[in-house]
Amino acid sequence: MQRVARVVVDVPLAHLDRPFDYAVPDELAEQVVAGCRVRVRFAGKLVDGVVLELASGTDHTGKLAPLAKVVSAEPVLTPEVAELARSVADRYAGSLTDVLRLALPPRRGAPEKRPRLDPPAPPPAPDPAGSTPAENRPPGR
């Protein structure tokens, strides 16, 4: 079964504002994850892209082009950010690529070489009754 990567390619043309399917070569299979940065051949040129998702099949009838390279196996695009970026692009008549270019952090090679740490726990939810409990307010307020 062929693994397929749905990739948003970094091209400025509005009519190409959709994901494209690429075959995941066996030698890259362990590195390719949803949200990672890749390089793909598009219209004869090597361009940057981000994997939106991995699938087990495609609706494309022809032969899929393979991913050229995994730039970074570190996932930088979560499904929530992808959905938000799509909503922003649709709302303001932009393209997903333009929104992602501004939403995703620039690539830094040094942090990718360090071992991955678990993210810190999120802060507690705010008190719905008010911002500061009365006993913690400064005197006179």
pLDDT digits (tens, 9 = 90+) for 92-101: 988 999 999 9
Tokens 């970074």 belong to residue: 72
What is the chain's alpha carbon radius of gyration, rounded to the nearest angstrom? 20
Q: How many CB atoms lie within 10 A of CB 4?
A: 19
Confidence label for 105 from pLDDT (cuts 50, 70 and 90)? confident
Identify whether the C-beta of residue 48 lies closer than 8 Å to the C-beta of residue 89: no
Q: Is the pTM of this model over 0.85?
A: no
